[in-house]
Amino acid sequence: MPRKSLKHHLYVIIFGTHTRAGRAFDIALIAAIITSLVVLILESLPSVMTEWSQELRYIEYTFTALFTLEYLLRLYCSPKPKSYATSFYGVVDLLAILPTYLAIFFPGASFMGVVRLLRVMRIFRILKLVRYLQDSNVLLRSLLMARRKIFIFFSTVGILVIILGSLIFVIEGPHNGFTSIPKSIYWAIVTITTVGYGDMVPQTNLGKAIASITMLLGYSILAVPTGIITAELSNEMNAHKELVKCPNCNRSGHDSDAIHCKHCGSELADPDNRVVAGDENEKSS
Amino acid sequence: MPRKSLKHHLYVIIFGTHTRAGRAFDIALIAAIITSLVVLILESLPSVMTEWSQELRYIEYTFTALFTLEYLLRLYCSPKPKSYATSFYGVVDLLAILPTYLAIFFPGASFMGVVRLLRVMRIFRILKLVRYLQDSNVLLRSLLMARRKIFIFFSTVGILVIILGSLIFVIEGPHNGFTSIPKSIYWAIVTITTVGYGDMVPQTNLGKAIASITMLLGYSILAVPTGIITAELSNEMNAHKELVKCPNCNRSGHDSDAIHCKHCGSELADPDNRVVAGDENEKSS
Amino acid sequence: MPRKSLKHHLYVIIFGTHTRAGRAFDIALIAAIITSLVVLILESLPSVMTEWSQELRYIEYTFTALFTLEYLLRLYCSPKPKSYATSFYGVVDLLAILPTYLAIFFPGASFMGVVRLLRVMRIFRILKLVRYLQDSNVLLRSLLMARRKIFIFFSTVGILVIILGSLIFVIEGPHNGFTSIPKSIYWAIVTITTVGYGDMVPQTNLGKAIASITMLLGYSILAVPTGIITAELSNEMNAHKELVKCPNCNRSGHDSDAIHCKHCGSELADPDNRVVAGDENEKSS
Amino acid sequence: MPRKSLKHHLYVIIFGTHTRAGRAFDIALIAAIITSLVVLILESLPSVMTEWSQELRYIEYTFTALFTLEYLLRLYCSPKPKSYATSFYGVVDLLAILPTYLAIFFPGASFMGVVRLLRVMRIFRILKLVRYLQDSNVLLRSLLMARRKIFIFFSTVGILVIILGSLIFVIEGPHNGFTSIPKSIYWAIVTITTVGYGDMVPQTNLGKAIASITMLLGYSILAVPTGIITAELSNEMNAHKELVKCPNCNRSGHDSDAIHCKHCGSELADPDNRVVAGDENEKSS
């Protein structure tokens, strides 16, 4: 441990999650993020906007100031600011404050569209919350391990959707609402994912047949990603079992809370290769 | 066992499920609940209400009287009435009779809406049936063990829905029906859960693209909760693990091929001490 | 084996699936069933009915005659006719011929509705095909073993649907299309199963909130039955592993094709408790 | 290895994926396929077609020329051209060029429909990409191993859909949009797959009841294919089993904790003979 400098102190509070101060800071930050999101959503309600636009803008400025301060402090106290600024969270923290400043510097009166876009872009502040979903790494690892299979699955779906979309485009044709292949592919996606808006539906019998095939396909291939994730997850969740081996009879398959080998009863070595999620996350952030 | 006082006798009949009288009482109660629900549902049918309103009201009063009696008896014979009155079922039992009395004391002519709301609250009485689905504890335990992962999953869905809703709000805008961010988030939920009412559909090409991404996301992330539950369930369902207890340290969780207790290393006995779910549940109720 | 009487001969051909004649009979029967279904479906097309009604009726009579013959033969050659007549397949075989006779004896001119019903009831002939899905017993066994959990799941869905339906009924009210609790429950089912017809959609904000909860509920609890079936299925598929034990080291967990114990290398007993699906099915039919 | 003739050289470049030239060829091919798909999709946009039809046709001709060259080269350098021409990829490669030639030889002016069909048929070029999804063989093997169960599942769905469709046809009748059994079966598919377009919805109460049952059925039986695939996949993904081969009898399929070959009982060696997927795929292509 280095000496407790102010910088390090700040680091522990802002980036850390183990000290009481650190936890307090995190909770305050979460509260601020959620409040600012509520403000943003309220701003989108015409009724509210007409009455409270002024107040909402002031609140918005306050939050922007707070998040700016947070961003600068993070830059200051982070051991390597560059890597933070370029990290996922660094970019998110910047995105969280940028829009307001842009909206100020380019007076919105002239081009509302951009300003509305900027105002809504602040929604990405929600990504600041992702920092607090860190314990999802079992899920993430499963998804990572399955990424090849998932990519293959999506490629297959993509190919199916393009073929089925083109078929329905030829069969139904423009006069039934299938005016182009992209629109028909959109229909195929709506159908294969079993969403079924009903804004585009086949009229001809052949089209209905294709639609039925698309639905049954979508209905059943849904099983594939589920199978992939499930298989990976149960592997992940049994990972430990494979790790620990009995020093005496050298058999594996022990639970994470096993102290004795269930086969020969001799003591098991302590499981000392357990990674403390918190630590590595701080490093990665 | 204490001496068979009337109070204890009632307790065994009303709260118990093992004696013949207790089972008879439960069956009668279920019948009463279901009938009263049918009455309540019939009351909602205008055609029925015009003709039979009088009869239905009388039936309604009868049931309320019965359930009031049941509530008072439970309060009387329960060993600790306070804890029952404050327990989940205690509150439900009270909620089940309250509306009718309120409807009597405050003549509904003035504010029917509220009274109807109260009367519909009686639907919660059906939760009393949950008490008879005791074997759901394998499912419940799996869900409990997975609650962290499930919470993370829902947070992710929440974040996705807010971001996608805001994007579609900016892209489609009010003139296409996306009049506010909350409504757009509602659309995002309708789409990501693959419900697809079709009451709000994107009109622009960019909007359709966002919609397609939302659908494919919803279609594939559905795999995650399934994977979680499945993995937990198959753990849970490794029934033997739950049944065999170590005769020495009395800990369970041994594999079906375990010969020695993995905790203390002593030999395991044959599985003969199955826990009777009913008993502990009664205590918890 | 008894002596090859005509009766037994017929039995082997009609009920059996192992002899060449038996297989030929089955294939002919499947062809007949499917053709009669096609005829039935064609009859429902007005355009076809106007032109070919006469021909179709004759074809229909032919098939009915054939199926009647089959039914009588089955009754004749079955070792215990009563148990066949009362078995699932016996009832189905009767259902397959009854409607036509009813339609003949009660001349349809008078009450078309009933006749249409009778004609369509012949669709149940398709159930005759179920006899040839016999190899589904791994699936069936899994479903049977999971039936308790599945029942609990459906009860939960039922309770949820009633509560959510009543809530939406109170919130939206008749003027938004939610005219009664049954209709509202129908809406809740449409929503929780993520079907989302869009014929009934909430108009109020509170209603939209309830709808969102319903969707997310339906979206995620779908994971539960999947988890149940998957867990049961993988148990079923690993069942054998648990059955065979090594005679030397008495450890289980061997694959179905294992000849030697993977732990100590000693020979395994032949797996002679493998049930031949075909045989028992014939008995059960 | 034969001597490095031009023919073999081409073979390595066109069919191979391990040499730098081979990889370069593949990347170029993928780029060509995707570009030609984009062109095809653009052609379907009326706005684009009116302006750029000429240019698009020329681009189209170029791609057809390129793919023709590729096809001829493959025929030339493949060790056994016949088996390539009749293989899945051979047919696909032919399908990718045929339509354009047909469109040229039969001047479209006369019968537009066929030409539009031919033009869109070129979409099957996308199947040329399947060649690059080769690593999906774990998925494919799982699906193959589960094909019996999947077939049974689809038969069951088919039977359900026909019965439910016929029921709704009888209940709702033509005046509610259920004009024929095929259309009603289409509705049943739309409902059981939880797509729910909403173009056909039951009006009567009995119809709504049938619909509810259909939805709940579709909602829950979705669990079955998922369970099947998952169970098969986790078997497949027990990677070790696939890798370790017995040095004596050369059979694989041993558990990760196997010390002796379960077939012949001889000691197992360390897993060192991993199969390189690429090689066998080339053979199979």
- Identify which has the larger pLDDT, B251 or B180: B180
**Residues in Cβ contact with C167 at an 8 Å cutoff, skipping those fewer than 6 apart:** B120, C210
Q: Give me the pLDDT at residue B276, please.
A: 34
3-state class of A267 per DSSP? strand
Is A264 part of the contact surface with chain B (CB cutoff 8 Å)? yes
The amino acid sitting at D259 is I
Q: Are C56 and C45 in contact (CB under 8 A)?
A: no
Of D219, D275, D214, nearest to D245 by C-alpha is D275
* Best-predicted range by mean pLDDT (C122-131, C185-194, C271-280, D228-237): C185-194
CA distance C174 to chain D (A): 16
CA distance A53 to chain D (A): 40
Of D180, D226, D174, nearest to D203 by C-alpha is D174
Quote the CA–CA distance of C150 and C229 in Å, as a whole number: 9
CA distance A62 to chain C (A): 29
Which two tokens mark D95? 């399908």
CA distances to B227, C143, C157, D160 from C150, rounded to whole Å, are 18, 8, 10, 19
Residues of B in contact with C264 (CB under 8 A): none
Q: Give me the pLDDT at residue A278, please.
A: 35
3-state class of A169 per DSSP? helix
Report pLDDT digits (tens) over A100-127: 887 777 665 444 455 556 666 667 767 7
Give yes or no for residue B283 having a pLDDT over 50.
Answer: no
ipTM: 0.77
CA distances to B32, B42, B60, B125, D198 from B35, rounded to whole Å, are 5, 10, 10, 12, 33
Q: Are B204 and B176 in contact (CB under 8 A)?
A: yes
DSSP C269: P
> What is the helix (H) or strand (E) element at residue B193, kind and residue range?
none
**Residues in Cβ contact with C54 at an 8 Å cutoff, skipping those fewer than 6 apart:** none
The amino acid sitting at B49 is M
Is C103 part of the contact surface with chain D (CB cutoff 8 Å)? no
Per-run averaged pLDDT (10 residues), chain D, 285 residues: 70 81 86 86 82 85 90 89 85 82 66 58 70 65 78 86 90 89 94 92 93 91 82 67 58 56 61 36 37
Give the A window 168-207 contacts with D, CB below 8 Å.
169-170, 174, 179-182, 185, 191, 194-198, 201, 205
What are φ and ψ of residue D260, in 5° steps?
Answer: -110, 150
Which residue is it, tokens 């949009």? D177
Q: Give me the pLDDT at residue D202, please.
A: 94
Q: Give me the pLDDT at residue A114, please.
A: 56
Per DSSP, chain C holds a count of helices (H) and strands (E) of: 14, 0
* Best-predicted range by mean pLDDT (A30-34, A133-137, C207-211): C207-211
Q: Give me the pLDDT at residue A99, please.
A: 80
Residues of B in contact with A193 (CB under 8 A): 194, 215-216, 218-219
- Identify which has the larger pLDDT, C239 or C75: C75
Residues of A in contact with B182 (CB under 8 A): 41, 44-45
Q: How many beta-carbon pairs under 8 angstroms link C with D?
A: 166
Q: Are A35 and A63 in contact (CB under 8 A)?
A: yes
Quote the CA–CA distance of B236 and B240 in Å, as a whole number: 10
Q: What global pTM score does this model have? A: 0.79
The amino acid sitting at C38 is V
Considering only the beta carbons, identify the residue of C196, C226, C230 that sits closest to A196. C196
Q: Between helices C147-172 and B112-121, what is the axis angle to 10°?
A: 170
The partner residues of A267 in beta bridges, in order of sequence, read A260
How many CB atoms sit inside 10 A of residue C235's CB?
20
Q: Are B265 and A265 in contact (CB under 8 A)?
A: yes
Q: Give me the pLDDT at residue B221, please.
A: 84
Is C153 part of the contact surface with chain B (CB cutoff 8 Å)? yes
Is D240 part of the contact surface with chain C (CB cutoff 8 Å)? no
Report pLDDT digits (tens) over B94-131: 877 877 787 777 765 444 555 555 555 555 655 555 55
Considering only the beta carbons, identify the residue of D194, D198, D230 that sits closest to B198. D198
Quote the CA–CA distance of C153 and B140 in Å, as a whole number: 11
Considering only the beta carbons, identify the residue of C196, C226, C231 that sits closest to B190. C196
DSSP A122: G
CA distance C160 to chain D (A): 13
How many CB atoms sit inside 10 A of residue C81's CB?
13
Report pLDDT digits (tens) over A264-285: 666 665 443 333 333 333 333 3
CA-nearest residue of chain A to C199? A198
CA-nearest residue of chain C to D150? C136
Q: Is B73 exposed, middle or buried (0-12, 13-18, 19+ CB in 10 A)?
A: middle
Q: Is D276 left (phi over 0), alpha (psi -120 to 50) or beta?
A: beta
| Torsion from C-alpha of A201, A204, A210, A212, nearest 10 degrees | 60
CA distance B280 to chain A (A): 26
Q: How many CA atoms lie within 13 A of B233 on its CB side?
A: 25
CA-nearest residue of chain A to B261? A262
Which two tokens mark B214? 């939302």
Is C201 in contact with B196 (Cβ distance < 8 A)? no
pLDDT band at C181 (very low <50, low <70, confident <90, very high): confident
Residues of B in contact with C222 (CB under 8 A): 222, 226
Of D77, D92, D73, D60, nearest to D2 by C-alpha is D77
Q: Are C157 and C192 in contact (CB under 8 A)?
A: yes
Is D126 in contact with A159 (Cβ distance < 8 A)? yes
Which two tokens mark C195? 């079907």
CA-nearest residue of chain B to A45? B180
Quote the CA–CA distance of B101 and B90 in Å, as a whole number: 17
Is D220 part of the contact surface with chain C (CB cutoff 8 Å)? yes
Quote the CA–CA distance of C145 and C235 in Å, as a whole number: 10
For residues D241-262, b (16+ Cβ closer than 10 Å) or e, as one string?
Answer: bbebbbeeeeebbbbebbebbb
Residues of B in contact with C251 (CB under 8 A): 257
Q: Are C285 and C269 in contact (CB under 8 A)?
A: no
Report pLDDT digits (tens) over B151-184: 888 888 988 999 899 889 888 988 898 988 899 9
The partner residues of B267 in beta bridges, in order of sequence, read B260
Q: Is D78 left (phi over 0), alpha (psi -120 to 50) or beta?
A: beta
